[in-house]
Amino acid sequence: MSLENLLFEIVEGVATVTVNRPKAMNALTLETLAELGDVVGKIVNNPEIRVAILTGSGTKAFVAGADIAMMREMTPMQAREMSLRAHRIFAEIEQSAKPFIAAVNGYALGGGCELAMACDIRIATENAKFGQPEINLGILPGFGGTQRLPRLVGKGRALELILTGEMIDASEAFRIGLVNRVVAPGELLAETGQLARKIAVKGQPAVQLCKQAIVNGLEMDIARGCAYEVELFANSFSTADQQEGMAAFLEKRLAVFRDC
Protein backbone atom coordinates (compact mmCIF):
# COMPACT_ATOMS: atom_id res chain seq x y z
CA MET A 1 0.00 0.00 0.00
CA SER A 2 1.42 3.42 -0.91
CA LEU A 3 1.45 5.85 1.98
CA GLU A 4 -0.30 9.18 1.37
CA ASN A 5 -0.99 10.20 4.95
CA LEU A 6 1.88 8.66 6.90
CA LEU A 7 5.66 8.78 6.81
CA PHE A 8 7.48 5.60 7.75
CA GLU A 9 11.18 5.05 8.29
CA ILE A 10 13.38 2.47 9.99
CA VAL A 11 16.75 3.44 11.47
CA GLU A 12 18.87 1.02 13.50
CA GLY A 13 15.97 -1.18 14.52
CA VAL A 14 13.69 1.74 15.45
CA ALA A 15 10.67 2.41 13.23
CA THR A 16 9.17 5.90 13.21
CA VAL A 17 5.63 6.44 11.97
CA THR A 18 4.58 10.07 11.44
CA VAL A 19 0.94 10.95 10.84
CA ASN A 20 1.23 13.52 8.09
CA ARG A 21 -1.95 15.52 7.42
CA PRO A 22 -0.78 18.92 8.66
CA LYS A 23 -3.64 20.82 6.97
CA ALA A 24 -6.13 19.00 9.19
CA MET A 25 -4.02 18.79 12.37
CA ASN A 26 -3.15 15.19 11.42
CA ALA A 27 -6.78 14.10 11.94
CA LEU A 28 -7.42 10.44 11.15
CA THR A 29 -9.45 9.61 8.06
CA LEU A 30 -10.43 6.08 7.04
CA GLU A 31 -7.51 6.12 4.57
CA THR A 32 -5.11 7.20 7.32
CA LEU A 33 -6.39 4.40 9.53
CA ALA A 34 -5.96 1.88 6.71
CA GLU A 35 -2.37 3.03 6.21
CA LEU A 36 -1.76 2.89 9.95
CA GLY A 37 -3.07 -0.67 10.05
CA ASP A 38 -0.78 -1.60 7.19
CA VAL A 39 2.28 -0.03 8.80
CA VAL A 40 1.56 -1.53 12.23
CA GLY A 41 1.37 -4.95 10.53
CA LYS A 42 4.75 -4.30 8.92
CA ILE A 43 6.26 -3.31 12.27
CA VAL A 44 4.89 -6.40 13.98
CA ASN A 45 6.13 -8.74 11.25
CA ASN A 46 9.55 -7.23 10.50
CA PRO A 47 12.15 -8.86 12.75
CA GLU A 48 14.55 -5.97 12.11
CA ILE A 49 12.23 -3.58 13.96
CA ARG A 50 12.70 -3.71 17.72
CA VAL A 51 10.87 -0.58 18.91
CA ALA A 52 8.37 1.76 17.23
CA ILE A 53 7.75 5.47 17.67
CA LEU A 54 4.46 7.15 16.66
CA THR A 55 4.35 10.91 16.20
CA GLY A 56 2.65 13.67 14.21
CA SER A 57 4.10 15.99 11.60
CA GLY A 58 4.68 19.66 12.40
CA THR A 59 4.75 21.34 15.77
CA LYS A 60 1.05 21.90 16.46
CA ALA A 61 -0.61 18.51 16.48
CA PHE A 62 0.13 14.89 17.26
CA VAL A 63 -3.35 13.86 16.06
CA ALA A 64 -6.39 16.11 16.62
CA GLY A 65 -8.79 13.17 16.52
CA ALA A 66 -10.78 11.32 13.95
CA ASP A 67 -11.61 13.56 10.97
CA ILE A 68 -14.84 15.34 11.83
CA ALA A 69 -15.64 16.26 8.21
CA MET A 70 -15.51 12.56 7.38
CA MET A 71 -17.61 11.53 10.39
CA ARG A 72 -20.30 14.15 9.90
CA GLU A 73 -22.47 12.11 7.51
CA MET A 74 -21.74 8.67 8.94
CA THR A 75 -24.55 6.28 9.75
CA PRO A 76 -24.44 4.31 13.02
CA MET A 77 -23.27 1.25 11.02
CA GLN A 78 -20.44 3.21 9.40
CA ALA A 79 -19.43 4.69 12.76
CA ARG A 80 -19.40 1.19 14.23
CA GLU A 81 -17.21 -0.06 11.38
CA MET A 82 -14.74 2.82 11.83
CA SER A 83 -14.59 2.28 15.59
CA LEU A 84 -14.00 -1.45 15.09
CA ARG A 85 -11.30 -0.77 12.53
CA ALA A 86 -9.40 1.53 14.91
CA HIS A 87 -9.89 -0.89 17.82
CA ARG A 88 -8.30 -3.70 15.79
CA ILE A 89 -5.25 -1.57 14.99
CA PHE A 90 -4.88 -0.20 18.51
CA ALA A 91 -5.20 -3.72 19.95
CA GLU A 92 -2.48 -4.88 17.57
CA ILE A 93 -0.21 -2.11 18.89
CA GLU A 94 -1.03 -3.02 22.49
CA GLN A 95 -0.73 -6.78 21.97
CA SER A 96 2.39 -6.55 19.82
CA ALA A 97 5.42 -7.90 21.62
CA LYS A 98 7.32 -4.78 20.54
CA PRO A 99 7.23 -1.57 22.57
CA PHE A 100 5.49 1.42 20.95
CA ILE A 101 6.36 4.92 22.15
CA ALA A 102 4.09 7.90 21.41
CA ALA A 103 6.06 11.09 20.82
CA VAL A 104 3.26 13.61 21.41
CA ASN A 105 4.28 16.81 19.64
CA GLY A 106 1.11 18.89 20.10
CA TYR A 107 -2.65 18.33 20.29
CA ALA A 108 -3.59 14.75 21.16
CA LEU A 109 -7.37 14.98 21.10
CA GLY A 110 -10.11 12.39 20.77
CA GLY A 111 -8.81 9.57 18.58
CA GLY A 112 -5.34 11.15 18.90
CA CYS A 113 -5.31 10.85 22.67
CA GLU A 114 -6.66 7.32 22.23
CA LEU A 115 -3.86 6.45 19.80
CA ALA A 116 -1.27 7.75 22.27
CA MET A 117 -2.91 5.68 25.03
CA ALA A 118 -2.71 2.49 22.95
CA CYS A 119 1.07 2.96 22.95
CA ASP A 120 3.17 1.66 25.83
CA ILE A 121 5.01 4.86 26.75
CA ARG A 122 4.13 8.50 26.10
CA ILE A 123 6.57 11.40 25.92
CA ALA A 124 5.09 14.85 25.32
CA THR A 125 6.37 18.29 24.41
CA GLU A 126 5.68 21.23 26.74
CA ASN A 127 3.08 22.56 24.26
CA ALA A 128 1.19 19.26 23.96
CA LYS A 129 -2.47 19.19 24.95
CA PHE A 130 -4.58 16.16 25.73
CA GLY A 131 -8.33 15.74 25.77
CA GLN A 132 -11.37 13.72 24.84
CA PRO A 133 -13.61 16.44 23.35
CA GLU A 134 -16.13 14.02 21.82
CA ILE A 135 -18.83 15.15 24.24
CA ASN A 136 -18.79 18.55 22.49
CA LEU A 137 -19.65 16.78 19.21
CA GLY A 138 -22.51 14.84 20.77
CA ILE A 139 -20.65 11.52 20.70
CA LEU A 140 -18.36 9.55 22.99
CA PRO A 141 -14.79 8.35 22.59
CA GLY A 142 -14.84 5.42 20.16
CA PHE A 143 -11.21 4.41 19.80
CA GLY A 144 -10.81 3.00 23.32
CA GLY A 145 -10.80 6.22 25.37
CA THR A 146 -13.50 5.13 27.80
CA GLN A 147 -11.46 2.02 28.57
CA ARG A 148 -7.80 3.03 28.43
CA LEU A 149 -8.11 6.49 30.03
CA PRO A 150 -9.56 5.23 33.35
CA ARG A 151 -7.01 2.42 33.40
CA LEU A 152 -4.24 5.01 33.07
CA VAL A 153 -5.46 7.86 35.26
CA GLY A 154 -8.31 6.42 37.37
CA LYS A 155 -12.08 6.54 37.05
CA GLY A 156 -12.68 10.00 38.54
CA ARG A 157 -10.14 11.82 36.41
CA ALA A 158 -11.22 9.93 33.28
CA LEU A 159 -14.87 10.83 33.88
CA GLU A 160 -13.99 14.48 34.46
CA LEU A 161 -11.98 14.65 31.21
CA ILE A 162 -14.55 12.76 29.15
CA LEU A 163 -17.65 14.51 30.57
CA THR A 164 -16.25 18.06 30.35
CA GLY A 165 -14.37 17.53 27.08
CA GLU A 166 -11.77 19.98 28.39
CA MET A 167 -8.13 19.81 27.43
CA ILE A 168 -5.26 19.48 29.86
CA ASP A 169 -1.72 20.65 29.24
CA ALA A 170 1.38 18.48 29.28
CA SER A 171 2.32 19.26 32.88
CA GLU A 172 -1.15 18.20 34.10
CA ALA A 173 -0.95 15.09 31.89
CA PHE A 174 2.37 14.31 33.56
CA ARG A 175 0.92 14.95 37.04
CA ILE A 176 -1.92 12.48 36.53
CA GLY A 177 0.27 9.82 34.93
CA LEU A 178 -0.95 10.16 31.37
CA VAL A 179 2.58 10.85 30.10
CA ASN A 180 5.93 9.55 31.26
CA ARG A 181 7.82 12.80 30.75
CA VAL A 182 7.64 16.26 29.24
CA VAL A 183 10.40 17.70 27.08
CA ALA A 184 11.11 20.89 25.12
CA PRO A 185 9.64 20.72 21.59
CA GLY A 186 13.07 20.71 19.95
CA GLU A 187 14.15 17.73 22.03
CA LEU A 188 11.20 15.40 21.46
CA LEU A 189 12.55 13.19 18.73
CA ALA A 190 16.06 13.06 20.21
CA GLU A 191 14.72 12.08 23.66
CA THR A 192 12.27 9.57 22.25
CA GLY A 193 14.91 8.10 19.94
CA GLN A 194 17.34 7.77 22.83
CA LEU A 195 14.75 5.91 24.90
CA ALA A 196 13.87 3.68 21.94
CA ARG A 197 17.53 2.80 21.38
CA LYS A 198 18.03 2.00 25.08
CA ILE A 199 15.25 -0.57 24.75
CA ALA A 200 16.34 -1.74 21.29
CA VAL A 201 19.75 -2.93 22.54
CA LYS A 202 18.24 -5.24 25.19
CA GLY A 203 17.64 -8.88 24.41
CA GLN A 204 14.32 -8.99 22.57
CA PRO A 205 12.87 -12.11 24.25
CA ALA A 206 13.17 -10.39 27.65
CA VAL A 207 11.73 -7.11 26.30
CA GLN A 208 8.80 -8.99 24.83
CA LEU A 209 8.13 -11.05 27.94
CA CYS A 210 8.21 -7.87 30.10
CA LYS A 211 5.65 -6.14 27.87
CA GLN A 212 3.46 -9.24 27.72
CA ALA A 213 3.56 -9.65 31.51
CA ILE A 214 2.55 -6.04 32.14
CA VAL A 215 -0.03 -5.54 29.36
CA ASN A 216 -1.82 -8.85 29.92
CA GLY A 217 -1.20 -9.03 33.68
CA LEU A 218 -2.87 -5.65 34.21
CA GLU A 219 -6.15 -7.15 33.04
CA MET A 220 -5.95 -9.97 35.62
CA ASP A 221 -6.46 -10.00 39.36
CA ILE A 222 -3.22 -9.93 41.36
CA ALA A 223 -3.11 -13.69 42.03
CA ARG A 224 -3.61 -14.63 38.39
CA GLY A 225 -1.24 -11.88 37.28
CA CYS A 226 1.49 -13.18 39.58
CA ALA A 227 0.89 -16.76 38.41
CA TYR A 228 1.19 -15.50 34.83
CA GLU A 229 4.46 -13.78 35.72
CA VAL A 230 5.82 -17.04 37.16
CA GLU A 231 5.26 -18.80 33.82
CA LEU A 232 6.82 -16.01 31.75
CA PHE A 233 9.74 -15.77 34.20
CA ALA A 234 10.34 -19.52 33.77
CA ASN A 235 10.19 -19.10 29.98
CA SER A 236 12.95 -16.51 30.10
CA PHE A 237 15.28 -19.23 31.42
CA SER A 238 14.93 -21.14 28.17
CA THR A 239 16.69 -18.36 26.24
CA ALA A 240 20.34 -18.05 25.25
CA ASP A 241 20.07 -14.40 26.33
CA GLN A 242 19.50 -15.49 29.95
CA GLN A 243 22.70 -17.56 29.81
CA GLU A 244 24.57 -14.69 28.20
CA GLY A 245 23.20 -11.98 30.52
CA MET A 246 24.14 -13.85 33.66
CA ALA A 247 27.51 -15.02 32.33
CA ALA A 248 28.36 -11.46 31.28
CA PHE A 249 27.53 -10.13 34.74
CA LEU A 250 29.67 -12.72 36.48
CA GLU A 251 32.53 -12.25 34.02
CA LYS A 252 32.30 -8.47 34.49
CA ARG A 253 31.72 -7.70 30.81
CA LEU A 254 28.90 -6.28 28.71
CA ALA A 255 26.30 -8.79 27.56
CA VAL A 256 25.99 -9.48 23.85
CA PHE A 257 22.39 -10.54 23.39
CA ARG A 258 21.42 -12.65 20.39
CA ASP A 259 17.63 -12.31 20.72
CA CYS A 260 17.05 -15.98 21.26
List the catalytic residues.
114, 134
- In whole angstroms, the minimum distance from the beta carbon of 214 to ligand HXC comes to 26
- In whole angstroms, the minimum distance from the beta carbon of 116 to ligand HXC comes to 12
Does 111 engage in binding with ligand HXC (CB under 6 A)? yes
- In whole angstroms, the minimum distance from the beta carbon of 196 to ligand HXC comes to 26
User: In the stretch 68-87, what mask flags binding to ligand HXC with x, by CB under 6 A?
Assistant: xx------------xx----
SS (H, E, C) the chain: CCCCCEEEEEECCEEEEEECCHHHCCCECHHHHHHHHHHHHHHHHCCCCCEEEEEECCCCEEECCECHHHHCCCCHHHHHHHHHHHHHHHHHHHHCCCCEEEEECCEEECHHHHHHHHCCEEEEECCCEEECHHHHHCCCCCCCHHHHHHHHHCHHHHHHHHHHCCCEEHHHHHHCCCCCEEECHHHHHHHHHHHHHHHHCCCHHHHHHHHHHHHHHCCCCHHHHHHHHHHHHHHHCCCHHHHHHHHHHHCCCCCCCCCC
- In whole angstroms, the minimum distance from the beta carbon of 23 to ligand HXC comes to 6
Does 24 engage in binding with ligand HXC (CB under 6 A)? yes
Residue of 56, 110, 203, 205 that binds ligand HXC (CB under 6 A): 110
Does 56 engage in binding with ligand HXC (CB under 6 A)? no
- Count other C-beta atoms under 10 Å from residue 91's C-beta: 12
Tell me the window of 43-51, 105-113, 189-197, 239-247 that interacts with ligand HXC (CB under 6 A): 105-113
- In whole angstroms, the minimum distance from the beta carbon of 39 to ligand HXC comes to 19
Q: Which residue's CB is nearer to ligand HXC, number 68 or number 227?
A: 68
Nearest Cα to 62, choosing from 100, 119, 109?
109
Does 137 engage in binding with ligand HXC (CB under 6 A)? yes
Does 142 engage in binding with ligand HXC (CB under 6 A)? yes
How far apart CA 209 and CA 229 sit, in angstroms, is 9
Tell me the window of 23-31, 154-162, 202-210, 245-253 that interacts with ligand HXC (CB under 6 A): 23-31
Tell me the window of 94-102, 118-126, 132-140, 221-229 that interacts with ligand HXC (CB under 6 A): 132-140
Q: Which residue's CB is nearer to ligand HXC, number 71 or number 209?
A: 71
- Which residues make up the interface to ligand HXC (CB under 6 A)? 24-25, 27, 64-69, 82-83, 107, 109-111, 133-134, 137, 141-143
